[in-house]
Amino acid sequence: MKQWGGPFPQIIHPKKESLIMGPTERQKEILRWFLTNPERIRQMRNNSGFFIIGGHMVVLKNGEEIEIIEFFRKEGFVNNLIVDGYSVGIKEESEQYREAIHFFKINTYDIPF
């Protein structure tokens, strides 16, 4: 298993053996903003998380306009990143669906072991 020093905890994804950095404070702040602005997100069935469909433009504080999924990518949101109890998944555009970023709730279970 790879070891890497840094300011944030790292997770080695077992299937891909790639290094995934832990979330930054800015990523947590971005996630919290979207959670407090429910008109900007769409809830998944069974309240298992939420998603944001691509193709929409956002205007940043500095006046820059950027496509929403590109914004998330630029901010370091990648597949399997875990931020405040959510796992990130980016679905590429297909013939049936537009590109989207999904935030899946991570459930915790008590087990008797």
Q: How many other β-carbons are positioned within 10 Å of the β-carbon of residue 31?
A: 19
Residues of the chain with pLDDT > 70, as a percent, come to: 81
Residues 6+ apart with CB under 8 A from 56: 67, 68
Q: Which residue has the higher pLDDT, 21 or 35?
A: 35
Q: pLDDT band for position 9 (50/70/90)?
A: very low
DSSP-derived 3-state class of residue 53: strand
pLDDT for res 10 = 45
Average pLDDT for 9-13: 45
Q: How far apart are CA 20 and CA 18, in angstroms?
A: 6
Average pLDDT for 51-59: 94
Segment 29-52, tens digit of pLDDT: 999 999 999 899 999 988 899 999
pLDDT for res 17 = 42
